[in-house]
Amino acid sequence: MTVSPSTDKVSFKRFSDNPIISPIHEHEWESRFTLNAGAVFEDGKVHILYRAQGKDNTSVLGYATSSDGVHLDTRLPDPVYVPREDFENKQGGGFSGCEDPRITKIGDKLYMCYTAFDGVNPPRVAFTSISTRDFLNKTWKWEKPVLISPPGEMDKNACILPKKINGRFAFFHRLGQSIWFDLTDDLNFSGNDGFLMGKIILKPRVDKWDSLKIGIGPPPLETKEGWILIYHGLSNFDNKYRLGAALLDLSDPSKIISRLEYPILEPMETYENKGLRGGTVFSCGAVTLNNKIFLYYGGADQFISVAAIEVNKLLAELKK
């Protein structure tokens, strides 16, 4: 079975000067890989938090900004978020650290979910926050991170929705091979109990491009027709990561209104097929700007690129 490029369907269009972020060999912390960026639009700019790794394979987060969504205005020379807790500090060899950030603004704070990995125990979801003022001033006073997913379980690809649902905070995460949805009364996680669980809302599909496992991409984007969920899927026949889309109910995001049969972005370019993991497009961040969705995604686990689509065009396809 093969997946043909979806040229006759709705798809994201790549920025011609991709990739927009690549490793900088002079910066040890980002000398090998730059990938999987979260994004938020604030104060007239897109703020990008991206995962980076150097020779010791520790994941940290770098920072860049863009006024138009594609060209960088700023890229800081040092990481803005590094491992601080035992659950994300390297306990053995190989990869470890703070991976795949997803950022959401609620009130006057920015909340970040990311994957915490010590190199030994199963990766888990970590949760932290920072005031919008400190973030914009580049005063990196992040709150102490806390684990919010169950111990002993691999749990990744998490985010918090920017709006409450029936007075409760809404989270997406991935346990097993599927996307889960959960509601919490507050954000006072202790790290000892009250872990995310909830229910499965989206599963892999047999014999399709997303047949092996799926997980959310960016935090879902709100529209008048519902929440646009962009998600990644891994196939069991060619082991490639592609991106798809679904539409969630506005008042109850656990309800799936529609789900496209085909991928809306798949690895076709050199920078998506030649790197640490060829055949990969993987997103953690997107913003809506000038009636378009700007999607920030990792290619081949080594580069960061941007692609865009008109909101109404994607909505029209999701509503067919």
**The two three-digit tokens of residue 76, written as one number:** 């800081």
Q: How far apart are the C-alpha atoms of 6 and 21, rounded to whole Å?
A: 26
**How is residue 121 annotated by DSSP?**
S
Q: Would you place residue 126 in the very low, low, confident or very high pLDDT band (cuts 50, 70, 90)?
A: very high
Task: Map out the domains of the chain as residue ranges.
Answer: 13-318
Specify the residue for token string 């994607």.
314
Per-residue pLDDT reduced to its tens digit, 157-205: 999 999 999 999 999 999 999 999 999 999 999 999 999 999 999 999 9
Query: Tokens 């994957």 label which residue?
Result: 115
At residue 93 the predicted structure's pLDDT band, cuts being 50, 70 and 90, is confident
Q: What is the pLDDT of residue 121?
A: 96
Q: Which of 37, 23, 49, 52 is nearest to 296 (CA)?
A: 37
Own/partner contacts of 177-185, CB < 8 Å, gap of 24 or more, are 177/203, 177/204, 177/212, 177/213, 177/214, 178/202, 178/203, 178/204, 178/213, 178/214, 179/203, 179/214, 179/215, 179/216, 179/231, 181/253, 181/254
- Classify residue 152 as exposed, middle or buried by CB count within 10 Å of its CB (0-12, 13-18, 19+): exposed
Q: Which amino acid is at 279?
A: G
| CATH node for 13-318 | 2.115.10.20
Task: Look at residue 4 in the predicted model and tell me its pLDDT.
Answer: 40
Instruction: List pLDDT tens digits, range 213-267.
Output: 999 999 999 999 999 999 999 999 999 999 999 999 999 999 999 999 999 999 9
Q: What is the rounded distance in angstroms from the CA atom of residue 199 to the CA atom of residue 7?
A: 34
The pLDDT value given to residue 64: 99
Instruction: Give residue 2's pLDDT.
Output: 38
What is the rounded CA–CA span in Å between residue 79 and residue 95?
Answer: 17
